[in-house]
Structure 1
Amino acid sequence: MVVNRFYQKKNFGFDRYISSLSLIFSFIKMDIRQKFNFSFPTTIRFGVGVISELPDYLKQNQLKRPLLVTDPIVRELGFFKNIVKELSQSGLSVEVFSDVHKNPVKTDVLKGKELYQSTDRDTIIGIGGGVGLDVARAIALSINHHRDLFDYDDLIGGDKYVTEPIPHFITVPTTSGTGSEVGRSAIISENESKKKRILFAPTLMAKIVFADPELTMDLPSFVTAATGMDALTHNIEAYLSKNWNPMCSGIALEGIKLIGESIETATLKPDLLSRSKMLMASMMGAIAFQKGLGIVHSLAHPLSSLLDTHHGLANAINLPHGLEFNYEGFEDRYEQMGLMIGLKQGEGKNFINYINDLNKKLGLPAKLSEIGVKNEHIDTLASLAIADFCHPNNPKPVTEADFKSIYEKAQ
């Protein structure tokens, strides 16, 4: 009887979400094969093996011709090929689009739209990390919206033009970083300038997320570390954001705790428990940062635009410096974050040292010079950073001179 109750699938609404997390992960320690349903902010099917439910889900929703959107690396991995195989063996007509850049640009989206239309697809499934999921979401937007893609940029009020329905949209995360699977926006760059644009609307949220920790097991240690630090940065910056949203703050703190418990193991000696915690914490960071991000992301975005730096790596290097900038006046928040990752009462200042040490343990570089940043880049990076859309939500104001000083310290 106990075993039967344990294996019963459970449904959690928002009112039970946060209070259920400790219970959920104590269950995972008992049996990693348990699966869960969540309903915040969209339907999330979470657990080892849930990806096997995708063919039946499509059939139940009378969907027969999915377009799978991913990146060139994921396309060649065994689990992706197995997804395609299982969908095809279930009698579904599958097309795959993976012609995307590491930092996706507008033409990537337009190519995907053309394939969707020319092959008469009826649903879009984004599979991968931030790249595949952002491109998939942008393609979904473009199918029934025919203005120039960047007319829908949220920063210029473009969300008002998002008036038509989008195709049935499903997300399948394969990394624990951006949390794009639960998001309502896509970041796409201009082809020439590499300026990042935000496409946003509530209707761009996936109908369902299949979050299967097993799909993250093939990630190499470096990618696990970089994407994991991205997830940690999301939770930290969401918690520090000047905007008031206690629900997001609570989720961010729990996300920090889960990452503190699992990122080293997930990177250096991965198992399903650590990968499960990281995948959950990644989604929590993406949910929490609707409260806002901050200075670290404004430091990181120009590195991706100018030097094509991996976003998670850019965040990891800049995170200690952003935390140092924000510390004075917000000591109480650092105390709380320190407690969540295991520091003692009164050791909040050591949270910054903890992040520095964590980067070292994960084998990530500590300086910008180690990833190709040169002194002559700094002025350009600072001008791009001050124009970025994240730092207005920082707990304290930032000037271009501040950005330049931080880049010089990080160099």
Structure 2
Amino acid sequence: MTFDKIYQYNFPTTIRFGAGASKELGDYLLKNNLSRPLIVTDTIIAQLSFFKAIIDDLKKKNIAVEVFPDIHKNPVKSDVYKGTEVYDATQRDAIVGIGGGAALDVARAIVLRVNHREDLFKYDDLIGGDIYVTNDVPHFITIPTTAGTGSEVGRSAIIADDETHQKKILFSPKLMAKIVFADPLLTMELPPFVTAATGMDALTHNMEAYLAKMPHPLCEGIALEGISLISQSLEKAVNNPDLESRSKMLIASMMGAIAFQKGLGVVHSLAHPLSSLLDTHHGLANAVNIPYGMQFNIAGFEDKFKRIARTLELEDENGEAVVNYLFDLNSKINIPHKLRAIGVKPEHVETLADLAIADFAHPNNPKPVTREDFKQLYLEAL
């Protein structure tokens, strides 16, 4: 494929992919008789030139824009409530999420809350709350600005409790965007650290989805191609980005999010507590933990690791080679090998292990993970 034209995919939602795709937003809104969107983003993106250009284009088309950027980098329930208040007070008719995983998760949760006003966590998928998502939801559009979470194509939002920091999953097919404008040009000026951390998040999604215990051949095929695209492009996207590397990373990120409907695993359950307890960037938390989590998973799943190694075109087609590849990749993109380098201290380990065993991701790991396993993995990574 060439990287200077726009393609349309319908998988599972409509995806307009390619350089300049984000410029189609205004015409799309008008075509759908929408003129009062709430734009949900974060405070950093709200200051960037491409975001201001999107807003200016909408205003030129007489679209009345309201921007809500007041969110945490690891989103909490109060962010969603504040955004819904703005939606109500300014009488919006659509929601557009522009940003990385945090902005898109908050946007999706506001989409839910607009017409579902009981306590937000009543709708937690882990306690069967999806059955209560019965009302209509506002028209929802996503524009990703990082190649990491793939939230733009998802059906769920991860929101933490303000007090306990425990993460909840809000899920429903109703929460899928009507359309995604995936424009790699919006990722061209991402700083190297953000590119590296979000890129390793995408790799973790693809690898964990491939290994997750639920059988799902469609997702496994997507995950392997996502792994291949990331291996071709992440190092270049971090250190010497061009349109091709940025495009491949954006596609691979969406592929990871499509694949992980199959499930995630031990790495995400190691990473989530770092974000909730220490406010660690989610992608960075995954990046540091993934070699250790993959090492834990090798025994008993050698055939799957052989397939991953082959996809990565490694000389030795085994799990140890995959783990070594992950450490080497982290080195090449300036991700540290140890948790102590990102602020984790020995006194944190017991609390982290408690949070990890309570996390929602590891039940889909290919093998069971105990609290003691989590403790040992943290100590090993420390």
TM bracket, shorter-chain basis: over 0.9
Which structure 2 residues correspond to residues 8-407 of structure 1 after superposition, within 5 A? 27-28=1-2, 32-344=3-315, 346-407=317-378
Supply the AA of the counterpart residue of 1:158. Answer: G
Q: What CA RMSD, in Å, does the superposition of the two structures yield over aligned residues?
A: 0.7
8 Å Cα contact 1:235-1:253 kept in structure 2: yes
CA distance in 1, matches of 2:286, 2:319: 21
Question: What are the Cα deviations for residues 354-381 of structure 1, in whole angstroms up to 9, with x where unaligned?
Answer: 0000000000111110111110100000
Uncovered stretches (5+) of structure 2, i.e. residues with no partner: none
8 Å Cα contact 1:299-1:403 kept in structure 2: yes
Q: SS state of the match for residue 98, structure 2? A: strand
- Percent identity reads 64
Question: What are the Cα deviations for residues 84-106 of structure 1, in whole angstroms up to 9, with x where unaligned?
Answer: 00000111000000000111111
Give the Å deviation of 1:346. 3.3
Task: With the length of structure 1 as denominator, give the TM-score of the two structures.
Answer: 0.92
Supply the AA of the counterpart residue of 2:34. Answer: L
The aligned length equals 382
Q: SS state of the match for residue 44, structure 2? A: helix
Question: What are the Cα deviations for residues 331-367 of structure 1, in whole angstroms up to 9, with x where unaligned?
Answer: 1111111111121363443011000000000001111
CA distance in 2, matches of 1:104, 1:278: 24
CA distance in 2, matches of 1:268, 1:182: 27
8 Å Cα contact 1:336-1:348 kept in structure 2: no
CA distance in 1, matches of 2:273, 2:118: 27
Supply the AA of the counterpart residue of 1:130. Answer: G
CA distance in 2, matches of 1:65, 1:377: 46
Supply the AA of the counterpart residue of 2:120. Answer: L
Supply the AA of the counterpart residue of 2:324. Answer: N
Supply the AA of the counterpart residue of 2:285. Answer: A
8 Å Cα contact 1:68-1:94 kept in structure 2: yes
8 Å Cα contact 1:331-1:349 kept in structure 2: no
CA distance in 2, matches of 1:115, 1:101: 16
8 Å Cα contact 2:50-2:186 kept in structure 1: yes
8 Å Cα contact 2:273-2:356 kept in structure 1: yes
CA distance in 1, matches of 2:4, 2:193: 26
CA distance in 1, matches of 2:234, 2:72: 27
CA distance in 1, matches of 2:371, 2:60: 56
Structure 1 pair 328/366, CA: closer, same or farther in 2 (3 Å)? same
Q: SS state of the match for residue 48, structure 1? A: coil
Uncovered stretches (5+) of structure 1, i.e. residues with no partner: 1-26
CA distance in 2, matches of 1:220, 1:349: 31
8 Å Cα contact 2:36-2:91 kept in structure 1: yes
CA distance in 1, matches of 2:65, 2:353: 44
8 Å Cα contact 2:295-2:319 kept in structure 1: no
CA distance in 1, matches of 2:157, 2:319: 34
Give the Å deviation of 1:404. 0.3
Q: SS state of the match for residue 72, structure 1? A: coil
Question: What are the Cα deviations for residues 202-261 of structure 1, in whole angstroms up to 9, with x where unaligned?
Answer: 100000000000000111000000000000000000000011000000000000000000
Q: SS state of the match for residue 305, structure 1? A: helix
Q: SS state of the match for residue 230, structure 1? A: helix
Give the equivalent residue in structure 2 for 1:4: none
8 Å Cα contact 2:310-2:317 kept in structure 1: no
